[in-house]
Structure 1
Amino acid sequence: RYLLSPQDLAAVDVIPDLVKAGVTSYKIEGRLKSPEYVAAVTRVYRKALDDVEITEKDRYTLEMMFSRGLSSGWLEGTNHPRLTHGKWGKKRGAWAGKIVTRGEGWVELATNKVSLNPGDGFVFDAGEDRNDEQGGMVWKVEGKKLFFDRRSGINWKRVHAGQSLWKTSDPALEKEVKKSWKGGRLEEKGDSLMIQVSGKSGEPLVVECRGKKVVSEVMLEKAEKRPLNKEVLAGQLGRLGGTEFQLGLVRNLLQGEVMIPLGELNRVRRRLVEELKEEAVVKDGRAILARLMPQRRVVDEGLPELRVLCRSLEQIVGCARAGVGFVYCDFEDLKDYREAIEIARKGGMKVFLATPRIQKPTEIGFFKLIEKAEPDGVLVRNLGGVSYFKERGIKTVADFSLNVANPVSAALLMRHGEFENLTVSYDLNEGQVSGLLASAPPEWFELTVHQHMPMFHMEHCAFCTFLSDGTSIKNCGKPCDQHDVQLRDRVGQLHILKADVGCRNTLFNGRAQTGAASVDEFVSLGLRKFRVELLEEDAKQAARLVGWYQNFLNGEGEAQDLVRKLGAIERLGVTKGTLEQRRGEVHY
């Protein structure tokens, strides 16, 4: 039922391996969680990082604060079923045990996996619709028997031996955790500085930090008694009270045993702090933005061009019949790219091949297969592809996943990636696209006007988890090659699930959307390249749909007529905006 709801990431048991691997920064996501969650989880991971043994109580605490089940994610390798079992999609807590017998108002567990006390919350797991599950609070505990209040509302005819009981809340634990942070005071910490000190006898002392360099007016001398060692330097340079800074680390590169009057060392410290404060002053953002903004050029008066993304050989045949001049190929099996190129070129079409959205270091072979197929260019979806194909002189178009959402990011990608075009980010609504076109050369951009919006793109493979007994591509038997899968949402809409060459899954919205109503405005702003993305159309359907858009871009018919024929949602990008279509317009 909950096919895309993974268990929560809990990497506490692999922290020692991550430390050995050189990871120095660890993130805990606590958004929309309680203060108790943040306090408890932070405390457990602090113990792990301090190399203190993690106890069963610590793991129990992680489960009870908020847990849909705990998993190490992909940190111990790919195991799709272990990540997502699909049984529930919200907080579950800790497993208490299986019911061996029950009566009216009580149950007996085979074993108490966790302590149960009066007032604890629970839920019966009968494998039914999660919205119909029964639960409440424990009234009394006698050994392995749990008793429940007569007013609990539990239908005991639905409770049977073999069902599981989950502990969903622990008031005593919550009280204990709350006590650990309630009334506590935050320790104010300054901006941590790493200071480097260098010099030798007869030369000035040099103190450096964040690109700033301060030189002493007094020369270093050979030390007779107390040389400048790390402790002395830290003691004097760390006197940062009353500033927004604190000393993080001192790197002592002094040559030999040298000394300098402490008063001079203090003067150097004060001068360094002054320079760092000057650097920290916020500069006028408008002036910086003006330097980064691209120069806008004269609007192109040429005709709009339609480009079509195809996901099957049939669709390429359909595009050839419709007289399309430019196609992208986005296939699950990259070995089909050679045949796709042959069909496209026989039909007089320019053809670009799409990279996967995610490219791991061990998957460079995907790029090599694309290069070997000798396309006219590549639709690049990740930064690894930018450098790979640029170095080989192959033309590229940046896809939406590179997130071109403003003129500054557009200019940066055009400068460093040398792209033919940039696909406008799907995060922009009509007003924001207009703002982008008005502030950067419109000939840079390509806009997707028809597509089934990709709602999820994930490493997790639902085909492997739910249609095989395997754990990864090594033993799943590739059920994605034999099955077409659609997922039904809570309102009954079916959405289309596809796997890519790297076994990553994309869930596409079951209804196509169109931005046809905005095309005239974008053309007036200089945009000339528009994309239609096909999904499951056959050759005939592809030719018909593409033909409608070609006629529309050639000025034949109204946008509303096209929308009506398509039966698509009238929307550009992910959303129209918070309140209305024009609300999100931005002027740069």
Structure 2
Amino acid sequence: MIELLAPAGDLSRMKTAFMYGADACYIGGIEFGLRKAATNFTRDDLKEAVEFANKNNKKIYVTLNIIPHEGDFDGMVDYIKFLDEIGVHAVIVSDPGVFSLVKENSNLQIHISTQGSVTNSNTINFWHKMGASRVVLARELSLEEIATIRKNIAPEMELEAFCHGAMCMSYSGRCLMSSYMTGRDPNKGDCAHPCRYKYYLMEEKRPGEYFPIEETEGGTYIMNSKDMKTISFVEKLIEAGITSLKIEGRVKSAYYIATVVRAYRRAIDSYLKDPENYKFDESLDKEVISSSHRPFTSGFYFGNPMEDGQYNNNQVAIPKSTFKGEVHEAKDGRIYFTLKNGLNEGETVSVMGPEGDVIVEVKDLRNDENKHVERANVPQTVYSFLYDKDASEGFYIRQVEE
């Protein structure tokens, strides 16, 4: 089985990921994870997440992948025992000290985090002997290297690799810049992303005089990486020996997760159905591009991307499709949704669900007081329009691209 692994910053996004085709989700508790910007899961949330996953034949992996200092272990053993008690399917670990605590205090499966910078079969075999069941490979590996690694490790050892999402300019994400520049430690989940900043040159005897460094008209962003996208060659990742394809983005929206997960699910299933005659569906590439993103790169899978992996702009993301609203339900011939971006009477939109999209013209647009309006323009307000198909919570309304 090839696993599609999705991020989830909270319970709602976790359920969305499963609804749109993820086999497993990686999530973080309030403690010991690497995404403080995510909402994250309380202990009650974690318990509910595991119960929901089990009912739906899915899996939950919890991050324990901080790079801890001496004072960061307080409460960790208790937390590990709690995760074991509720039946978490695995924990993601980068530090050998944390690894040993998990082994000594639980029966949890252990996945070695990408923060572990694993780039070769010798290291993987070491972790296998220590009791790890999976390694999340460093992003800096090529497909050729991964195929060689697969041949030199135990068949039961699982390999996980990133297939989509943000890239880090530091090796395997082990960055110190944020800590140095802002006091926010990226190795404890609080990265300020200084690699995305715009930089100038200043001569030491001329403080306050900033000289532009111009790679393009927009200036220079010497550490700003493009995002990874592999959907057009997902079969090559599988053929190289990857058993779990991982989407980055625990702070991403539910709509982003739905869009990207659904596209990769379809690509993977299409390949597995008939590997010999597999042909990539170009519409899936358009689908992932429709969500907000930076320009894309194939990462290191075909070698070092060099300048092709760099994004010389300060624009955070490129929206290709306008997200209009989150659906609540469809009943009595109408669809009800919470507005995110403006919507006009007569506009053609797509109602997006796990199995596909329904194209519909917006007719008889009404506000939360059931009054007809020509334009929905109050965000976070419930509106409705005529709709005679099925839809439910977890569906989305978006504009139709020309």
1:533 matched residue in structure 2: 248
SS of the residue aligned with 1:413? helix
CA distance in structure 2 between the aligned counterparts of 1:573 and 1:339, rounded to whole angstroms: 36
2:166 matched residue in structure 1: 452
SS of the residue aligned with 1:520? helix
Query: Which of the numbers 214, 230, 236 marks the counterpart of 1:521?
Result: 236
1:173 matched residue in structure 2: none
Query: Which of the numbers 535, 539, 546 marks the counterpart of 2:261?
Result: 546
Alignment pair present for 1:336 and 2:58: no
* Contact 1:337–1:353 (8 Å) recurs in 2: no
* Displacement of 1:329: 0.7
CA distance in structure 1 between the aligned counterparts of 2:193 and 2:12, rounded to whole angstroms: 17
User: Which aligned pairs between 1:287-306 and structure 2 lie closer than 5 A?
Assistant: 303-306=1-4
2:17 matched residue in structure 1: 319
1:273 matched residue in structure 2: none
1:424 matched residue in structure 2: 137
* Contact 1:552–1:558 (8 Å) recurs in 2: yes
* Contact 2:21–2:261 (8 Å) recurs in 1: no
Report the number of matched residues. Answer: 254
* Contact 1:320–1:344 (8 Å) recurs in 2: no
User: Which aligned pairs between 1:387-402 and structure 2 lie closer than 5 A?
Assistant: 387-392=100-105, 393-402=107-116
2:99 matched residue in structure 1: 386
Query: Which of the numbers 566, 569, 572 marks the counterpart of 2:288?
Result: 566
Q: Which runs of 5+ in 1 are unaligned?
A: 1-302, 474-479, 496-507, 582-588
SS of the residue aligned with 2:74? helix
* Displacement of 1:362: 1.4
* Contact 2:163–2:245 (8 Å) recurs in 1: yes
CA distance in structure 1 between the aligned counterparts of 2:50 and 2:220, rounded to whole angstroms: 32
* Displacement of 1:511: 4.1
User: Which aligned pairs between 1:143-542 and structure 2 lie closer than 5 A?
Assistant: 303-330=1-28, 331-332=35-36, 336-347=42-53, 348=56, 349-365=58-74, 367-368=76-77, 369-373=79-83, 374=86, 375-392=88-105, 393-416=107-130, 418-441=131-154, 443-444=156-157, 445-456=159-170, 457-458=174-175, 487-489=196-198, 511-542=226-257
* Displacement of 1:334: 6.2
* Contact 2:91–2:111 (8 Å) recurs in 1: yes
* Displacement of 1:361: 1.9
* Contact 1:516–1:559 (8 Å) recurs in 2: no
CA distance in structure 2 between the aligned counterparts of 1:524 and 1:429, rounded to whole angstroms: 13
Name the TM-score, length of structure 1 as normaliser. 0.38
* Displacement of 1:538: 1.5
* Contact 2:226–2:297 (8 Å) recurs in 1: no
* Contact 1:356–1:381 (8 Å) recurs in 2: yes
Which structure: larger Rg? 1
* Contact 1:304–1:523 (8 Å) recurs in 2: yes
* Contact 1:350–1:376 (8 Å) recurs in 2: yes
* Displacement of 1:408: 1.3
CA distance in structure 2 between the aligned counterparts of 1:460 and 1:486, rounded to whole angstroms: 8
Cα deviation, 1:344-382, whole Å, max 9, x if unaligned, reads: 532533211111331112111363335424422201122
Cα deviation, 1:10-51, whole Å, max 9, x if unaligned, reads: xxxxxxxxxxxxxxxxxxxxxxxxxxxxxxxxxxxxxxxxxx
SS of the residue aligned with 1:434? helix
Q: Which runs of 5+ in 2 are unaligned?
A: 29-34, 200-215, 272-278, 290-294, 309-402
1:7 matched residue in structure 2: none
Rate the CA distance shift 1:384–1:526 in 2: closer, same or farther, 3 A. same
* Displacement of 1:316: 1.2
Rate the CA distance shift 1:441–1:318 in 2: closer, same or farther, 3 A. same
SS of the residue aligned with 1:554? helix
- Greater relative contact order (Cα < 8 A, sep 6+): 2
Cα deviation, 1:111-155, whole Å, max 9, x if unaligned, reads: xxxxxxxxxxxxxxxxxxxxxxxxxxxxxxxxxxxxxxxxxxxxx
CA distance in structure 2 between the aligned counterparts of 1:489 and 1:325, rounded to whole angstroms: 38
Rate the CA distance shift 1:572–1:538 in 2: closer, same or farther, 3 A. same
Q: Which amino acid is the alignment partner of residue 406 of structure 1?
A: N
CA distance in structure 2 between the aligned counterparts of 1:370 and 1:423, rounded to whole angstroms: 20
Cα deviation, 1:41-100, whole Å, max 9, x if unaligned, reads: xxxxxxxxxxxxxxxxxxxxxxxxxxxxxxxxxxxxxxxxxxxxxxxxxxxxxxxxxxxx
Q: Which amino acid is the alignment partner of residue 569 of structure 1?
A: F
Q: Which amino acid is the alignment partner of residue 345 of structure 1?
A: E
The alignment-based identity, stated in percent, is: 14
Cα deviation, 1:180-235, whole Å, max 9, x if unaligned, reads: xxxxxxxxxxxxxxxxxxxxxxxxxxxxxxxxxxxxxxxxxxxxxxxxxxxxxxxx
Q: Which amino acid is the alignment partner of residue 16 of structure 2?
A: G
Name the TM-score, length of structure 2 as normaliser. 0.53
Say what the alpha-carbon RMSD is for the aligned residues. 3.9
* Contact 2:4–2:245 (8 Å) recurs in 1: yes
Q: Which amino acid is the alignment partner of residue 554 of structure 1?
A: D
* Displacement of 1:390: 1.3
* Contact 2:49–2:60 (8 Å) recurs in 1: no
* Displacement of 1:324: 2.3
Rate the CA distance shift 1:372–1:488 in 2: closer, same or farther, 3 A. same
* Displacement of 1:494: 11
1:46 matched residue in structure 2: none
CA distance in structure 1 between the aligned counterparts of 2:162 and 2:125, rounded to whole angstroms: 20
* Displacement of 1:542: 0.9
